[in-house]
Amino acid sequence: MGDQTLKDAILSHLKYSLGKDADHATIYDWRVALSLATRDRIVDPWFQSTRATYRAGAKRVYYLSMEFLIGRLLEDAMVNTGILDEAKAAFDGMGLPFDKIIHDEPDAALGNGGLGRLAACFLESLSTLGIPAYGYGIRYEHGLFRQRFDHGRQVEEPEDWLTQEHVWEFERPEAAFEIGFAGETFENGGRTVWRPNESVMAQAFDTPVIGWKGEWANTLRLWGALPTKVLDLGLFNRGDYAGAAEPEALARTISRVLYPDDTTDEGKALRLKQEYFFTAASLRDILRRFESEHSDLRDLPKKVAIQMNDTHPAIAGPELVRLLHDERGLPFADAMMVARGCLNYTNHTLLPEALERWSEGLMGHLLPRHMRLIEMINESHSQQYPGVTIIEHDQVKMGELSFVMASKVNGVSALHTELMKETVFKDLNGLHPERIVNQTNGVTPRRWLKTCNPGLAGVVTQAIGDGWVGDAEKLVELEPHIADSGFLERFTAAKRANKETLSNWFGTELGVKVDPSAMFDVQIKRIHEYKRQHLNILETIALWQEMRDNPNGDWTPRVVVFGGKAAPGYHFAKDIIYLINSVARVVNADPITSKLLKIVYPPNYNVTLAERLIPATDLSEQISTAGKEASGTGNMKFALNGAMTVGTLDGANVEIREHVGAENFFLFGMTAQEVWARREVEDHAGQAIAADPKLARALDSLRNGTFADGDHDRFRGIADNVSGPDYFLVASDFSDYWRASREADAAFRDPARWARMTALNTARSGWFSSDRTIRGYASEIWDALPPKPLRSI
Ligand code: 26Q
């Protein structure tokens, strides 16, 4: 490599790594050659980071997560290593389409949503801050399903990102551990021995994660499952070919597919196997690394901080105790102390149905020793602190187990952390009042402003320099520029250009024609009743109906955009998708409102699509029932990119509003306390509907066949739910949502005011950088520091 130009490096990879002649290279070939040339620039800082950590004897952070929603890696890697412009110039010079080459990369969807994307932002921030860290997870062969619409209904198709070579990873055949399941336990010389009767190999695949300015790189280590024996030759020789291949098939199912539910499903054995598989492999790797440098296991908490991303790796508690006590002979009480000294737990949800529980039967069968250890952990905790139990109704409660085994337990926004203390962990918080801490989520400003929105990032950098990229709180330096009309014009022009690009994309990809001067109103996230996409579509229906009544009224034209997937078994969420698509079909074909309202629902929402939509958004929809959205992180990305929010006092919306200023946020709806009180009111939905004729009419249109080709029953389920039980209080919040939406309309019609408000959103969103979040974890939870100061920050 050395002083080879980037262009030479690309050409050399094309020739020697891909074996292709430039004259015959495809887009794919160029993309892989560029990726390899970029990867080369990451390897040296990666090695140096490992060496610096080793030399300093620094503490390492281990982030255990079932999900890493990393998306595409090439453009972000070029931005962080500072070679993007050179790469673009090289391809422009060769007459090759740079954008097309970048967009050839598959989107690695190794996660469902917020929790997985947070893990990816955290890894990037850990590298940016130079904190030695590993992300540990599963190398799913198939990430989150691809979504397609068939006559408006969601259809799931398998995702297959690994059919092409994954150019960012290094396979590590030497880093492999045998992971056992089931079998029995027995006593031997005073120690308990577990003899599993089934096992698979966990093999490591490493991806370097480069931080801003390319000075530090950490490792994302994903485990793939392989058979312990490739072929049963005995069976094969007897002609039983299917039986002979069975161990291989069995093993590979473990890392075959990501579970597509972002709330807990019934306790499936394979899911528990996945959880144990990656947790056990990670812990063995962590201990191996520790033991290669240190001899006293009691020092483990000084050198190792483990973060459990929700309860999915909660088996880490009993497994670490087993490794220390059964396998290394520490007394049980000491093993408990050491394990607890290393472990911490992040809670991401208060929804009761989302709290993981495993039946004692399944746990006892698959992990017999762990089941016994969980009983011992439960006994020792309840002896010291009576009143809380980890095992209840023959089920292991993974939240309680994680809490008891953790030094620190954190929530992901200020409101969520307070509600955790008052609800799910009320009793445990009473016993351990110092254990729960808050770390409000954040997002990386590299991917979520600089890379995805180069137009706006350029305007910002022109005004205040590029220090904000490594220190997002510098964005406040934009505030004085907001009095400058030239700056505001450039700010607005950048948004406008993004909206034009998106409008063209809607036209060519989806065949929907939209006006880029309309307000772009966007709700993108998983489809869930608590996120209330049905509140949004009901309000959109009501707006359409009012517009038709008075097409010459003083309306603000809107393009209402939805994006998101429903869990395959979540029928109500799938009905919401069908409703949105059905309403879109009718509204978009209505000549009366064609200049006023359009509804667009691009299929297969993912990280890549988010990067397209967020920079072009005027209004961000954050409308969950208060108390239900733990934090939200999309809300932060929108504010950072100069969108206004219409939202409830839920999750991090509360803190966003505090930071950007109440006058720059469209607030509506009940508070969490009001929500609880409202549910007690008899027929709350009926009352709200009776009081709001617009809502009543919108609900009628769901029952009279307006959107269902005369099939009057098609949307009755949604209408009846909103009119009847309405647990998520769509009806009760509707009128105030309508009011806030019309306020947004009025503000948008005053371009100078709108420009000021949106620029203030960008200027005041720097606090929502995941760098700030990671500093908080490092000081309050991990006690971890960078071993060497980085030059750039
Ligand atoms: C668990 C067991 C079995 C099957 C699936 C699951 C499972 C998988 C994914 C449970 C939950 C998830 C994902 C949850 C999630 O994404 N939560 C979101 O986390 C974000 C980051 O903290 C928050 O911003 C969101 O508010 C929260 O909903």
List of domains in the chain: 6-441 (3.40.50.2000), 500-765 (3.40.50.2000)
For residue 293, the 8-state DSSP code is: H
**pLDDT for the residue numbered 262:** 86
Q: Are strands 198-210 and 217-227 parallel, antiparallel or unpaired?
A: antiparallel
Residue 525 is among the residues annotated as catalytic for this protein: yes
Query: How far does the centroid of ligand 1 lie from the alpha carbon of residue 349, in Å?
Result: 7
Query: How far does the centroid of ligand 1 lie from the alpha carbon of residue 567, in Å?
Result: 12
Binned at pLDDT 50, 70 and 90, residue 352 comes out as confident
Residue 348 is among the residues annotated as catalytic for this protein: yes
**pLDDT for the residue numbered 244:** 81
Each residue of 580-594: pLDDT tens digit? 999 999 999 999 999
Spell out the residues 6+ positions from residue 225 whose beta carbon is closer than 8 angstroms to its own.
Answer: 200, 201, 202, 203, 251, 252, 253, 254, 255, 277
**Residue of the CA atom closest to atom 13 of ligand 1:** 262
**pLDDT for the residue numbered 237:** 84
Cα 616 from Cα 552, distance rounded (Å)? 27
Cα 175 from Cα 292, distance rounded (Å)? 14
Task: Please state the three-class secondary structure of 294-342 as a single string.
Answer: CCCHHHHHHHEEEEEECCCCCCHHHHHHHHHHHHCCCCHHHHHHHHHHH
Lowest-confidence segment of 63-72, 249-258, 432-441, 616-625 by average pLDDT: 249-258
**Residue of the CA atom closest to atom 21 of ligand 1:** 115
Single-letter code of the amino acid located at 362: L
Residue 2 has pLDDT above 60, yes or no: no
Spell out the residues 6+ positions from residue 746 whose beta carbon is closer than 8 angstroms to its own.
Answer: 556
**pLDDT for the residue numbered 793:** 55
**pLDDT for the residue numbered 253:** 94
**pLDDT for the residue numbered 3:** 63
Residue 526 is among the residues annotated as catalytic for this protein: yes
Please state the atom number of ligand 1 nearest to the C-alpha of residue 630.
26
Query: How far does the centroid of ligand 1 lie from the alpha carbon of residue 348, in Å?
Result: 6
If you search the block for the tokens 């009905």, which residue do you land on? 575
**pLDDT for the residue numbered 353:** 85
**pLDDT for the residue numbered 365:** 98
Task: Please state the three-class secondary structure of 246-276 as a single string.
Answer: HHHHHHHHCCCECCCCCCCCCCCHHHHHHHH
Cα 174 from Cα 134, distance rounded (Å)? 18
Each residue of 83-141: pLDDT tens digit? 999 999 999 999 999 999 999 999 999 999 999 999 999 999 999 999 999 999 999 99
Cα 494 from Cα 488, distance rounded (Å)? 10
Residue 790 has pLDDT above 90, yes or no: no
- Ligand 1 pocket test, pick from 349, 531, 654 with the greatest ligand atom count within 8 Å of Cβ, gives 349
Residue 396 has pLDDT above 70, yes or no: yes
Residue 628 has pLDDT above 60, yes or no: yes
Query: What is the residue-averaged pLDDT of the chain?
Result: 96
Each residue of 648-669: pLDDT tens digit? 999 999 999 999 999 999 999 9
Cα separation values, 517 from 46, 80, 589, 617, 751, Å: 46, 33, 20, 12, 11
Query: How far does the centroid of ligand 1 lie from the alpha carbon of residue 256, in Å?
Result: 20
As for the ipTM of the complex, it is 0.99
Cα 624 from Cα 523, distance rounded (Å)? 11
Residue 442 has pLDDT above 90, yes or no: yes
Query: How far does the centroid of ligand 1 lie from the alpha carbon of residue 312, in Å?
Result: 10
**Residue of the CA atom closest to atom 6 of ligand 1:** 264
Please state the atom number of ligand 1 nearest to the C-alpha of residue 111.
9
Residue 325 is among the residues annotated as catalytic for this protein: no
* Helix or strand holding residue 437 (H, E): strand 436-438
Each residue of 502-558: pLDDT tens digit? 999 999 999 999 999 999 999 999 999 999 999 999 999 999 999 999 999 999 999
DSSP E strands, 35-75: 60-64, 68-71
Q: What is the pTM of this model?
A: 0.98
